[in-house]
Amino acid sequence: MTYDLVVIGSGPGGYEGAIRASQNGLKVAIVERELLGGICLNWGCIPTKALLKSAEVFDKINHLGDYGLTGEKPGFDFEKVVQRSRAVAKQLNGGVGYLMKKNKIDVIEGFATLEPGKDAPKVRVKLNKGGEQVVEAKNVMLAVGARAREIPAIGAVSDGDRIWTYRNALSPNRMPKSLVVIGSGAIGIEFASFYRSLGAEVTVVEALDRILPVEDKEVSAEAQKAFEKRGFKFRIGAKVTKVEKSGAGVKVSVEVGGKAEVLEAEGCIVAVGIVANTENLGLEKLGVEMDRGHIKNDSHGKTNVKGLYAIGDCAGPPWLAHKASHEAVHAADYMAGKKLSNLNPPIPGCTYATPEVASVGITEQVAKEKGLDVKIGRFPFKANGKAIAAGEPGGFVKVIFDKKTGALLGAHLIGANVTEMVQGFCLAITMEATEEDLQGTVFPHPTMSEAILEASLDADGRMINL
Ligand code: NAD
């Protein structure tokens, strides 16, 4: 059979693109070498949220007294915490299987490679059950994702025992008493947050001059303060020169401000970014254009090869599930000649630690680099009634407007629940809202979202509750 579309990779990009293509009347197959749902559902976004929920509940019951409650000293069963996270991932993996059936999408389990074809490259699948299947289609969508970057030159490579990448950290062989986390991006900070909540001594090493370096500087500073309060240790501007096993643990050699230091711990998590899974697919032979290790695509996801699309992590930053889904759904609409969704929507970023961090649009630093004339407003949760009542007064909302037009350019949040609040800003930027629109919106009282209104008012010096 000739399909209209074969999708390679069933992460949130691939499976959502496949569903949209099927909704558009296309006959679709999806090839997956491992688990339906990809990294996000099985080894990333979802199982980490399950671990972090256990950590959050544990933190809260350790502070029962703050809420006028009493109880016995809480504990945890580490194996059960991990099992719960694995069960959540399994449930969602099953959910994707159900969605494939519901949308009449053929699932082919195996590893796909590409060869020259008629309308689009031909897909040859080495089946997991043995043997091969050749699949021809009018369109092929590469949604093959990415994996953890390791640095063999300095020994920062998973050994599955003491030196971990996110996969090991999600299905750990033990609860480490101490950890060195290399990298303070979302992965490093989320795992640092989880293991710290369960009592590990955690030191985070970051090569750049601040933690969460893609975030607004004020957010990085507030986050560092909040994490230090929770007992994290940081080495900032620190270059890791060697990671080695030593005794029953690891030794991580770092250079900070010209001085050498050795950090010792029971384990180490390598969280220094990702690499696209573009090897062994046959891309070179097809002449697929690449850009710094990623597949080059246009704004509809098309590569330079006829009938071949690439979306999500394998096609470049930001390496986020929701960006992959958006690109894939857009490409599936484009290839079916349907009405297209927004081409360049703002892509929010979230870090689900305690406290949470969320942002969308540009930072104050980027606005300065671009020479934009901006107006900035801020509102701290310590002046928000709901946050105080909830015992969550840390953090703030910061908004950045264009001074001339009033357009909302960026929003930066840190505090409890902010990953749920940032979507208001996503909608606002997508709809080209201005300062006036935000200031004229009625926010429900009492909610933490009122800080959005107050921060917008602050841009004009008209805050009400502070
Ligand atoms: P990242 O690129 O976001 O962060 C890696 C950090 O490691 C950077 O700050 C970098 O400066 C630092 N670093 C690199 N080499 C180093 C070295 N040798 N020594 C010390 N520090 C070093 O990567 P990540 O945290 O691994 O995440 C990978 C991708 O996955 C990111 O794009 C991230 O946004 C995405 N992700 C998102 C979420 C989320 O949305 N919550 C969760 C996990 C991952």
pLDDT tens-digit readout, 387-433: 999 999 999 999 999 999 999 999 999 999 999 999 999 999 999 99
Same domain membership, residue 247 and residue 137: no
Domain boundary among 272, 292, 318: 272
In a domain, 418, yes or no: yes
Q: What average pLDDT does this structure show over 66-91? A: 97
Give the position, in ligand 1's atom list, of the atom nearest the Cα of 189. 25
Same domain membership, residue 369 and residue 423: yes
Same domain membership, residue 173 and residue 26: no
Q: Whose CA is nearest to atom 43 of ligand 1?
A: 187
**pLDDT 10s digits, 117-150:** 999 999 999 999 999 999 999 999 999 999 999 9
Give the position, in ligand 1's atom list, of the atom nearest the Cα of 211. 9
* Contact of 312 with 327, CB cutoff 8 Å: yes
Q: What average pLDDT does this structure show over 161-184? A: 97
Same domain membership, residue 6 and residue 126: yes
Task: Flag whether 187 is marked binding.
Answer: yes
Number of structural domains found in the chain: 3
Q: Whose CA is nearest to atom 41 of ligand 1?
A: 351
To the nearest whole number, what is the mean pLDDT of the chain?
Answer: 97
- With the most atoms of ligand 1 within 8 angstroms of its CB, the residue from 150, 170, 206, 354 to mutate is 206
- CA 21 from centroid of its chain's CA atoms: 25
- Does residue 93 have a pLDDT over 90? yes
**pLDDT 10s digits, 258-285:** 999 999 999 999 999 999 999 999 999 9
Task: Write the single-letter amino acid at 43.
Answer: W
CA-to-CA distance for 315 and 307, rounded, in angstroms? 16
Same domain membership, residue 7 and residue 138: yes
- Does residue 343 have a pLDDT over 90? no
Give the tokens for residue 128.
């997991």
Residue 1 pLDDT grade (very low, low, confident, very high; cuts 50, 70, 90): confident
Task: Flag whether 55 is marked binding.
Answer: no
Task: Flag whether 95 is marked binding.
Answer: no
In a domain, 349, yes or no: no
In a domain, 343, yes or no: no
| Span from the CA of 316 to the centroid of ligand 1 (angstroms) | 14
Same domain membership, residue 450 and residue 367: yes
| Span from the CA of 309 to the centroid of ligand 1 (angstroms) | 26
Same domain membership, residue 359 and residue 261: no
Q: What is the CATH number for 437? A: 3.30.390.30
* Contact of 392 with 384, CB cutoff 8 Å: no
| Span from the CA of 320 to the centroid of ligand 1 (angstroms) | 11
C-beta 350 within 6 A of ligand 1: yes
Same domain membership, residue 268 and residue 281: no
Q: What is the CATH number for 315? A: 3.50.50.60
If one counts every other C-beta atom within 10 angstroms of the C-beta of residue 95, the result is 14
In a domain, 452, yes or no: yes
C-beta 165 within 6 A of ligand 1: no
User: Which is nearest to 354 in space by CA: 60, 63, 17?
Assistant: 60
CA-to-CA distance for 12 and 19, rounded, in angstroms? 11
Residue 355 pLDDT grade (very low, low, confident, very high; cuts 50, 70, 90): very high
| Span from the CA of 188 to the centroid of ligand 1 (angstroms) | 7
Same domain membership, residue 280 and residue 268: no
In a domain, 20, yes or no: yes
In a domain, 200, yes or no: yes
- With the most atoms of ligand 1 within 8 angstroms of its CB, the residue from 184, 187, 190, 413 to mutate is 187
- With the most atoms of ligand 1 within 8 angstroms of its CB, the residue from 274, 354, 356 to mutate is 274
Question: Burial letters for 44-74: b for 16+ Cβ neighbours within 10 Å, e otherwise?
Answer: bbbbbebbbbbbbebbeeeeeeeeeeeeeee
Same domain membership, residue 436 and residue 410: yes
Residue 169 pLDDT grade (very low, low, confident, very high; cuts 50, 70, 90): very high
Task: Flag whether 184 is marked binding.
Answer: yes
Task: Flag whether 206 is marked binding.
Answer: yes
**pLDDT 10s digits, 243-259:** 999 999 999 999 998 99
C-beta 206 within 6 A of ligand 1: yes
C-beta 271 within 6 A of ligand 1: yes
- Does residue 344 have a pLDDT over 90? no
Predicted local confidence at residue 104, as pLDDT: 98
Evaluate the CA torsion angle 313, 318, 323, 329 in order and state its sign.
negative
| Span from the CA of 322 to the centroid of ligand 1 (angstroms) | 17
Predicted local confidence at residue 455, as pLDDT: 98
Same domain membership, residue 133 and residue 7: yes
In a domain, 466, yes or no: no
Give the position, in ligand 1's atom list, of the atom nearest the Cα of 213. 9
In a domain, 320, yes or no: yes
- Does residue 342 have a pLDDT over 90? no
- Does residue 52 have a pLDDT over 90? yes
Report the catalytic residues.
Answer: 445
State the residue range of the domain holding 406: 355-459
Same domain membership, residue 252 and residue 129: no
Predicted local confidence at residue 444, as pLDDT: 98
Residue 341 pLDDT grade (very low, low, confident, very high; cuts 50, 70, 90): confident
Predicted local confidence at residue 317, as pLDDT: 96
- Does residue 78 have a pLDDT over 90? yes
Residues 6+ apart with CB under 8 A from 431: none
**pLDDT 10s digits, 176-197:** 999 999 999 999 999 999 999 9
C-beta 272 within 6 A of ligand 1: yes
